[in-house]
Amino acid sequence: GVREDTVAEEGDTRAIDALGEAPPGYRLLPAHPWQLDLVDTREEIRDAFADGRLVHLGRSASPAWPTAAIRTVYDPAADLFLKFSLDVRITNDIRRLWRHDLLKLHRTDAAVTSGFAAVDGPAAWLSDRGYRTAHFAFEELAVLVRDGLRDHILPGATPLLAAALTEGFDGSPLDTLSDPAAWWRAYLRQVVPPALELFAHHGVVLEAHLQNTVVAVDDDGLPVQALFRDAEGVKLLPDVTRAAGWERLVYCLVVNNLLEIAGALEERYPGVELWPAVRRELRRFEAGLPEVGELLRSPTLPGKTNLLLRWTGADGADARYLPLANPLL
């Protein structure tokens, strides 16, 4: 727990208070067990425990499941995601909730929520409702509250992380498709339109990569809905230039998402023709989004240099792109 007079928070954090009971004069401040181990030896944290600004309240009674992000966990009892700071370099970045991202979280999430409300179809946004931390350890102890799945998933549908489809798992719908091309068309119809419509009409650049995309499938394993998450990774126009935003969207949506899912299908069903369907889906938006025509004609796509960032220890915001051959040609 954190003493009330040292709390820093913004947005709707009531779900944190519902997780348990804090002592009088304190507010609950959940912590990732790994992060607590990492920061517990720091002088400012030790001092806060010593003078009562922080108190240990033990472990939560209900289990929480780690997600693919590791620092984000899911509480099934509360149907709630909690995203923590984790001072560990995972892939290309230190996974801390940075102050500058937290301070713009409410504005970003509101813009995305408004955009999804205007999008036709079942696509949904898992809102980052708010955050709580201690003002003396703003980044180190921050926790972010995110919507769970139950209020957003279509009735009877089963949510699957898009990244899991590429990795494979027991019961994956990709393993038993009678018509992989039809499955692919359904996937495209759920995933592509929301990302393009938010960019074109609302200036929202979704970070629509595999880890931020949840695909809901029906009883036959056919995609019927896409859900997106992670306001921290969203960019808004004109905070970034339109060209930079489009490059980021193409990398996340086409290279990191569609290219990987297509690869998983091609591995299972050699000879299946997938990219003509992508071209057709993209062309539906060409009239209102001139960048689509350029994408369909470009010889290359932007590939993010994650490994180089890892090797050099650079900040994730310093991402650079190298050209990849464009399968849309």
Q: Supply the pLDDT for residue 61.
A: 79
pTM of the model: 0.94
Helix (H, G, I), strand (E, B) or coil at 27: strand
Q: Is the pLDDT of residue 200 over 60?
A: yes
pLDDT classification of 312: cutoffs 50, 70, 90: low
pLDDT classification of 298: cutoffs 50, 70, 90: very high
Torsion angle of C-alpha atoms 194, 199, 203, 204, degrees rounded to 10: 50
Mean pLDDT of the chain: 94
Q: What is the mean pLDDT of residues 198-219?
A: 98
Q: Is the pLDDT of residue 314 over 70?
A: no
Percent of the chain residues topping a pLDDT of 70: 95
Task: Report DSSP state, residue 219.
Answer: T
Instruction: Give the list of residues 6+ apart from residue 209 with CB closer than 8 angstroms, or none.
Output: 252, 253, 256, 257
Q: Supply the pLDDT for residue 69.
A: 87
For residue range 19-42, what is the model confidence (pLDDT) as tens digits?
A: 999 999 999 999 998 998 899 889
pLDDT classification of 304: cutoffs 50, 70, 90: confident
Residues linked to residue 11 through DSSP beta bridges, in sequence order: 130
Q: Give the span between the Cα atoms of 279 and 289, in whole angstroms.
A: 14
Listed by start position, the domains of the chain span 2-147, 158-325
Q: Is the pLDDT of residue 313 over 70?
A: no
For residue range 230-289, what is the model confidence (pLDDT) as tens digits?
A: 999 999 999 999 999 999 999 999 999 999 999 999 999 999 999 999 999 999 999 999
Residue bearing tokens 């003493």? 3
Q: Is the pLDDT of residue 197 over 80?
A: yes
Percent of the chain residues topping a pLDDT of 90: 87
Of residues 111, 121, 305, the one with CA closest to residue 204: 111
Amino acid type, 195: A
Q: Give the span between the Cα atoms of 29 and 57, in whole angstroms.
A: 9
| Dihedrals phi, psi of 66, to nearest 5 degrees | -70, 145
Q: Supply the pLDDT for residue 321.
A: 82
Q: Supply the pLDDT for residue 60.
A: 85
For residue range 93-121, what is the model confidence (pLDDT) as tens digits?
A: 788 999 999 999 999 999 999 999 999 99
CATH number of 158-325: 1.10.510.40
Q: What is the mean pLDDT of residues 172-177?
A: 98
* Number of CB atoms found within 10 A of residue 2's CB: 25
Helix (H, G, I), strand (E, B) or coil at 229: coil
Q: Supply the pLDDT for residue 68.
A: 87
Instruction: Give the list of residues 6+ apart from residue 329 with CB closer than 8 angstroms, or none.
Output: 296, 297, 299
Residue 171 burial by CB count (10 A; 0-12/13-18/19+): exposed, middle or buried?
A: exposed
CA distances from 106 to 74, 79, 145, 159, 327 (A): 21, 21, 12, 26, 37
Q: Supply the pLDDT for residue 93.
A: 76
Task: At 165, list the tokens.
Answer: 């489809």
